[in-house]
Structure 1
């Protein structure tokens, strides 16, 4: 803990020096920069609506003048004429499809309705479901109506007085306009039914008259001119199909079909009305622009102040030594970059402090290990010599094996002392290919007697032929330490320790799990730090050494614990490659 205080004192001394340097900076630099940004932003917000409105205003009049020119009007009329003819041609293609299906003279007689099959009736019904079609009419050889589909109502829409030729088809109508009965136009084409007798029949589509007038909507401009349709009956209709009387003098006529024409009427009064409205909206827009500019300035000022205050609070927390709380993120490109820079500074400072503490702790551990090695190695040497002499005289094989295990444990203690001495600069591991199941079995054999003395079940589960690559002594030492810790933790609660091994991807996971008393979160967060211990007689080096050994072998170690349920420590080591 003395190292922690020294690092904090060093940080605060650096902080006071930095604060002195900051006070020497001119105070107006950042302020002037923000004021300049406010000015340019305010001008930009004010100019964009005005420039945009001026552009729209000018564009409106230029488009208005362009629309009133003869060339522009002629272009639109030509497009409407083309669309009108295309509409009729499409209906001709539909009639052609009908004539391909109804190719027998029996369909072109008054009794033809009874001669059609259910498939042909479905085909006719599909045809009349179109939005622009009222029905289908069949004409006999003399041109008289034989029958109609879906019923005889459509016959009333047929007028023989207004018949016009168009590209080999006949356009009949329109019928008289009335509220009870909609107007219709018949498009009819003939077909030779019998080659030997030259017998002919014809099929007509009864089209909705509004389908013709709706084509004019693309040309009609209510603010500049109106468009009317003069049909074959001599009457004039608007875009919704209602008859109107034309009294204006400024009427331009354009031919659509034989007997059909297009009337364009210009309206000067409708042109000038939008000009007055645009001026009115210009004044309102100016007022709202000024109000919006003021509101925007105040809103940005308050928002920027909140962001700066948030950054100041975060920096003060770092200055006070709170390096665990992340810096609060704020919006805005420059403020976000500043926040990210402060956050990187916090993380680097946190990493620097932890590295410094780790170095000091490792140095302290090295001094402690040197003293322990001097005091422990001499008794261990005497014990090992005595056990070796007794082993040579012992004739009971079972006792002799136990003495051999004692010698191995003494050697392991020597290895632990060697690792303590090298904790500050650990030796490179001697990696070898280790059978995970054999390793766990040997560890269970060493700890089994202690577990039985505490009435604790020691259970092992590991599949065969699973190999890991690591220093066998390091891994054995780590597992022994973890098992002994589990036995000690279960002295109050628990009766099972499970030692498991499995493969997870490119790693071998060796876990020690107990159902003891577990650890709270505040202890779990520091449990692998050197010299951190909750035991009255512990040194806090066991898990720190285990973590160092595992990392030196290219692995990692994780600890999961729940208060009152138990603890699981898992060691992950690389899988050994298969050998031939």
Structure 2
């Protein structure tokens, strides 16, 4: 983390010379925030159509009574009268055409039903198939019903008393209303027309009473008007043909046929009461809608501002160099996508800074190693050669021992320089197929004596046919370093070091696992960084060199450690067949 902060400070220091001064604008009050502006605008856009609709709706109802004037009512009544009379005339013409086919006087007697031919019966059946006709009625010369087609309709003709004449026809009825028996009226040719054909009787249609009342539906205005049909029997019926008890006097009465009238009841309360009620509920609806929209605006605004402030805080932490703290969680699809984008940016920036640090560190160490090798190694070689020559001529044992110590220290300095060179400029790997079990057994044999001196058991677990592809010298150096580190870590506790090799997908995992004292998380986070060491005499390049060598062979290395339980270092390298 300290390295990341230093890089951020370094970058800022470099940019400070050319950067343009920009005023930092705080997130500010809620009225200046973009989210609040959009929400207030949406509230305004929602309220303007609502208020306009309420005004138009109120205006519509206030003009309803004026629009439904007497002139309009008269026009509609005239249309209804005309439609009613046209319906009767059409049935009259159909009845006259049918009567011409029944000119035999023997048909107008009770036994006439048995005397009709099949052609006439088909004609009757076709006639009663019409929607408005229940049946055909045959009368004798006295006007009594002798028979009907179909026969079951004859029972429905009881109770027909009132007779109204219209353009040469007689409208008899309607029949009494009941749930079981549909109400109907009889339309027949008037008696003064029957003798012209020499018939001894007359013929009529038993019409569906609803066919007459439903003509009024075009005039019925619901709450504005109530329309009733007053039939020849004096009873009033509604538009579906049910009798109605008159509780109020009709506002207007219009004649349809002699004895038949159209009753129109227009009550101001029927018109104004719904208008006033609707206006009242409309005002309440507007108040609740405005309150709901305002509450919704405030809650969304507060929630959105909290989430935006949370994201701004996270971005400011990243800008200040805190790349370890994840971005705070937010809700909502859009805010979640923004949070994920910022989190990806944080991770990528963290990776970029670390990779940049590694590259800069590698380049710096390369230059340092080259300079040390040139400026220190050559003089050290001359000094060591001189000290060795003097030591051979020295006869004083104490002086000779001191010269030997000088040679050892010179060799130690050479080793440090060698480690620097290995880390900064490792040689290119010479990859080959390596038998994992053979390699592990060879390394165990080299350090077996040291392990036995510490009473530590070395155990190898590996399949005999397992092989991987890498530079054998590099891998041997890495595993040897890891094994020596494990032996050193177990100087206080631990009795077993496990060396495992297994295949995981396209990789071979080589693990060195000890049950030593382990490492805490703060040390584990920096353990592979160059020059980071917990040893008093260490250089901090061992694991860094191992990591560099493994990466140069196309592999990777991971370290897992638990304080007080041990450490496991795993090296992943490509299997041999992947390179074949």
The alpha carbon displacement at 1:552 in A equals 1.5
Provide the residue aligned with 2:291 in structure 1: 291
The alpha carbon displacement at 1:329 in A equals 5.0
Change (3 A) 1:375 1:492: farther
CA distance in 2, matches of 1:15, 1:299: 42
Provide the residue aligned with 1:430 in structure 2: 430
Provide the residue aligned with 1:327 in structure 2: 327
Change (3 A) 1:50 1:473: farther
Instruction: Indicate the structure whose relative CO is greater, using CA pairs within 8 Å and at least 6 residues apart.
Output: 2
Q: C-alpha offsets along residues 293-336 of structure 1, whole Å, 9 cap, x if unaligned?
A: 43344334433443443344334323432221233354578766
Output the aligned Cα RMSD. Answer: 5.2
The alpha carbon displacement at 1:41 in A equals 0.9
CA distance in 2, matches of 1:579, 1:333: 45
CA distance in 2, matches of 1:441, 1:268: 111
CA distance in 1, matches of 2:463, 2:151: 93
SS in structure 2 of the partner of residue 21 of structure 1: coil
Q: Which structure has the greater CA radius of gyration?
A: 2
Match of 2:240 among 252, 270, 283: 252
1:46 and 2:34 matched: no
Question: Where do residues 466-477 of structure 1 align in structure 2 (5 Å cutoff)?
Answer: 466-477=466-477
Alpha-carbon contact 1:468-1:508 (below 8 Å) kept: yes
Provide the residue aligned with 2:570 in structure 1: 570
CA distance in 2, matches of 1:423, 1:431: 19
Change (3 A) 1:321 1:6: closer
Change (3 A) 1:568 1:56: farther
SS in structure 1 of the partner of residue 21 of structure 2: helix
Provide the residue aligned with 2:377 in structure 1: 374
CA distance in 2, matches of 1:440, 1:292: 74
SS in structure 2 of the partner of residue 423 of structure 1: helix
CA distance in 2, matches of 1:59, 1:492: 95
The alpha carbon displacement at 1:347 in A equals 4.0
CA distance in 2, matches of 1:40, 1:314: 29
Alpha-carbon contact 2:502-2:509 (below 8 Å) kept: yes
The answer to which of 359-368 and 524-533 deviates more is 359-368
The alpha carbon displacement at 1:8 in A equals 1.6
The alpha carbon displacement at 1:446 in A equals 0.9
Alpha-carbon contact 2:369-2:424 (below 8 Å) kept: no
CA distance in 1, matches of 2:446, 2:368: 28
The alpha carbon displacement at 1:3 in A equals 9.3
Question: Where do residues 233-252 of structure 1 align in structure 2 (5 Å cutoff)?
Answer: 249-252=237-240
Q: Structure 1: 5+ residue runs without aligned partners?
A: 61-163, 167-183, 185-222, 226-246, 255-265, 383-413
The alpha carbon displacement at 1:563 in A equals 0.7
The alpha carbon displacement at 1:360 in A equals 3.6
SS in structure 2 of the partner of residue 323 of structure 1: coil
Provide the residue aligned with 1:493 in structure 2: 493
The alpha carbon displacement at 1:38 in A equals 3.9
SS in structure 1 of the partner of residue 237 of structure 2: coil
SS in structure 1 of the partner of residue 572 of structure 2: strand
Provide the residue aligned with 1:281 in structure 2: 281
The alpha carbon displacement at 1:279 in A equals 3.0
CA distance in 2, matches of 1:333, 1:283: 36
Provide the residue aligned with 1:152 in structure 2: none
Change (3 A) 1:525 1:24: closer
The alpha carbon displacement at 1:471 in A equals 1.1
Provide the residue aligned with 1:550 in structure 2: 550
Alpha-carbon contact 2:4-2:321 (below 8 Å) kept: no
Alpha-carbon contact 1:558-1:569 (below 8 Å) kept: yes
Work out the number of aligned pairs and report it. 366
Question: Where do residues 57-206 of structure 1 align in structure 2 (5 Å cutoff)?
Answer: none
Change (3 A) 1:277 1:422: farther
Change (3 A) 1:456 1:290: same
Alpha-carbon contact 1:459-1:497 (below 8 Å) kept: yes
Alpha-carbon contact 1:224-1:268 (below 8 Å) kept: no
CA distance in 2, matches of 1:488, 1:562: 17
Provide the residue aligned with 2:453 in structure 1: 453
SS in structure 2 of the partner of residue 442 of structure 1: helix
Provide the residue aligned with 2:22 in structure 1: 21
CA distance in 2, matches of 1:18, 1:340: 29
Q: C-alpha offsets along residues 412-470 of structure 1, whole Å, 9 cap, x if unaligned?
A: xx999767425334433211111111111111111111111111111111111111111
Alpha-carbon contact 1:15-1:319 (below 8 Å) kept: no
Provide the residue aligned with 1:8 in structure 2: 9
Change (3 A) 1:557 1:250: same
Q: C-alpha offsets along residues 358-411 of structure 1, whole Å, 9 cap, x if unaligned?
A: 2343244335655479389969x99xxxxxxxxxxxxxxxxxxxxxxxxxxxxx
Change (3 A) 1:335 1:507: closer
CA distance in 2, matches of 1:37, 1:579: 60
Change (3 A) 1:318 1:519: same
Change (3 A) 1:571 1:348: closer
SS in structure 1 of the partner of residue 573 of structure 2: strand
CA distance in 2, matches of 1:363, 1:513: 33
Alpha-carbon contact 2:509-2:570 (below 8 Å) kept: yes
SS in structure 1 of the partner of residue 468 of structure 2: strand
CA distance in 1, matches of 2:42, 2:579: 70
TM superposition score normalised by structure 1: 0.52
1:528 and 2:528 matched: yes
Provide the residue aligned with 1:359 in structure 2: 359
SS in structure 2 of the partner of residue 252 of structure 1: coil
CA distance in 2, matches of 1:59, 1:572: 81
Alpha-carbon contact 2:35-2:305 (below 8 Å) kept: no
Q: Structure 2: 5+ residue runs without aligned partners?
A: 62-149, 153-179, 181-220, 224-234, 243-263, 386-413
Change (3 A) 1:23 1:525: closer
CA distance in 2, matches of 1:337, 1:499: 45
The alpha carbon displacement at 1:40 in A equals 2.7
Change (3 A) 1:321 1:483: same
